[in-house]
Amino acid sequence: MAEEVSDCHELRLVLLGSFHSGKSKLAHSFLNINYQSDQMTTQCVKMEGHIHGRKIILVDTPGWWKWFQLCDYPERLKAELIKSTTFCPPGPHVFLLVIEVEFSFSEKHRKVAEDHMELFAGDIWNHTIIVFTKLKHLDDKTIEQYVEREGENLNKLTQKCGNRYVGFDSDLDIEGSHVKELFGQIEKLVAENNGRCFEADATRLMDMKIKMKNVEEKAAVRELKVLKKRRKLEEIKNADAKQSSTPLNIVLLGWVLSGKTLSASVILGAETSFDRTVKCVRTCGVVNGRQVTVVDTPSWWKFLPHQLNADSVKTEILKAMASSPHAVLLVIPADTSFLEEQKEVILENMRPLGENVWRQTIVLFTFGGSLGNNSIENHIESEGEALVRLVEMCGNRYHVFESMKDDRTQVNQLMEKIDEMMVENALLNSSEEHQGKKRTFQESETLSEWLRVEDVKKLLNEEWDRSDSVMKEMLKTVSPDRVGRREGSITLPPNFIGEEINAGLFVNKHQLKDSIEREWNRWEAFNSSRMQKQLDDYTEMSSCADEEGIKMSLSRVERWQRHNFSDYGSVSSYDELDKPEEDSN
């Protein structure tokens, strides 16, 4: 029997949307709950309140990057989204899809939103209202004018929701008019649905529950296994007092936007350099009275094959390894997915270092703050076989930096693990064989399907540098006016026919297209995060009442410009740096 709605009945809501959409702020403002702007929603959060005598149950959910394909969203966060409906049984009456009006709405944004919404399956669109936030960027335009101006992509999305949308901005909410309007829209939709709540797919929920239980069990086994091994190694290490005082040489490896350079600064407690790393950067420091040298290396692509790296990448990495490092830290961000293709790219790039490199490698997970209450073991197991296999190749050695700021506890723990690895290697007489799966090329494919590696590599580097230049110019002139964004992908080089195909000289055009798009999605997400933060700084600067305040805001803007052009921080790494620093303020 359909659930009936009465004046005293509760209303159950689920909030969905991308990072920086203002989703969590909306939730707290709607229920009149104090909101901490530095809070990051990493897991579902259930909140309760009353509006006009009605009990409101509202579930806030982790956000997604509006440029990332669903396959690049971590498995644990997909599960968290699906699980959100179980926080308000028997199910939510309404989903609130939050979209900020600060940036133009592209086809990519629409597809990403639709893909994440359709994780829930069922008739979710019949229970959805779009809520537009950050209305100050509309200037004197109405929400209706904004929707019309944005064109086909936003119109397609609003049509899926039965053209139900409303604006909400707590900073502009005069006498609670935005709360009143949103509440009215919610009641109207519930009435149209005759009080029926959204019914989640029972099979999907059960599959997810079983999968999560399996992940938790495997994570517990992994954690216990690693702990037992570490205890044995610690006993041996403690017997040699000199071990913990010998100088350490550490090399960092990883893909672009992984947080590699930030990790170097965290280890040494030094100021981060945000210049693009094109050659090895060797930095020395003292950690707990011990001399430590950290070598940062040029990064490789996350999705593209090793042939498309800049020429200096392999040369500089080999140069770094020539110093016989005690430890290699393979840096992988914990806030993105890890698929078989990422494992293959890592194997390709590390293969020239020899099989023995795995004996001295520790996986360093960055941006562990995105894990919330989940353990790093839970993340490893939930991502699946590819990440599990990589960790096992490193002898189940891994560490997580929960914060990308100076935190000596997490650094000290890393030093302990490095010492234990050195003890383990001293005990080993032979290394295990770690052989990545060889890439094969189909001889039956036509020559027109292939592109010269050198041409593609040149194009990638030119486009990356061009994006840097464009963003620098935009940052110089940024204002609260609505900021657009570059549409479309870079143009691929022409076909080359009549040449003999060689795996080292050519790359398949169709395999390349999606990989380039995903690399640039990450770059655009990073640029968007910078742009939004600088817009916030601009607004704060313009509202300052005194000269000292203006100087402070200008200083912050300059800081963002310095931070904007590193290709070695994860997208979320810059969110960490966005938080106020007591010393600088």
363 forms beta bridges with: 330, 398
Contacts of 163 (CB under 8 A, 6+ apart): none
CB 8 within 8 A of CB 54: yes
Q: For residue 436, what are its two tokens? A: 């990545």
CB 257 within 8 A of CB 301: no
- Do both 164 and 229 map to the same domain? no
- Do both 195 and 210 map to the same domain? no
pLDDT in tens, 139-165: 888 999 999 999 899 999 999 999 999
Give me the domain span that covers residue 541.
Answer: 448-578
- Do both 405 and 454 map to the same domain? no
Cβ burial 155-166 (10 Å sphere, 16+ → b, else e):
eebbebbeebbb
- Do both 187 and 74 map to the same domain? yes
- Do both 284 and 395 map to the same domain? yes
- Do both 210 and 194 map to the same domain? no
| Pairwise CA distance, residues 514 & 91, whole Å | 37
Whether 391 is covered by a domain: the verdict is: yes
Whether 366 is covered by a domain: the verdict is: yes
Q: Which of 200, 231, 263 is the last residue of a domain?
A: 200
CA torsion, ordered 147, 151, 157, 161, to nearest 10 deg: 40
Span between the terminal Cα atoms of the chain, in Å:
59
The radius of gyration computed from the CA coordinates of the chain, to the nearest angstrom, equals 26
Q: What is the mean pLDDT of the chain?
A: 80
Whether 140 is covered by a domain: the verdict is: yes
Whether 488 is covered by a domain: the verdict is: yes
- Do both 346 and 464 map to the same domain? no
Contacts of 442 (CB under 8 A, 6+ apart): none
* Overall domain count for the chain: 3
Please indicate whether residue 543 or residue 101 has the higher confidence score (pLDDT): 101
| Pairwise CA distance, residues 353 & 357, whole Å | 6
Whether 415 is covered by a domain: the verdict is: yes
CATH of the domain at 175: 3.40.50.300
Contacts of 194 (CB under 8 A, 6+ apart): 2
Whether 265 is covered by a domain: the verdict is: yes
Whether 6 is covered by a domain: the verdict is: no
Whether 442 is covered by a domain: the verdict is: no
Amino acid 103: pLDDT: 81
- Do both 187 and 301 map to the same domain? no
pTM assigned to the model: 0.78
Please indicate whether residue 364 or residue 289 has the higher confidence score (pLDDT): 364
DSSP state of 304: S
CB atoms within 10 A of CB 391: 25
452 membership: H or E segment, kind and range:
strand 450-452
pLDDT in tens, 279-321: 899 999 999 889 999 999 999 999 988 888 888 899 999 999 9
- Do both 66 and 127 map to the same domain? yes
- Do both 147 and 293 map to the same domain? no
Residue whose structure tokens are 């017997």 = 239
Q: Which of 200, 219, 239 is the last residue of a domain?
A: 200
> 165-167 and 11-17 as β-strands: parallel, antiparallel, unpaired?
unpaired
| Pairwise CA distance, residues 562 & 137, whole Å | 25
Whether 73 has a pLDDT exceeding 80, the answer reads yes
- Do both 269 and 409 map to the same domain? yes
- Do both 186 and 214 map to the same domain? no
Amino acid 403: pLDDT: 81
Q: Which of 427, 457, 473 is the last residue of a domain?
A: 427
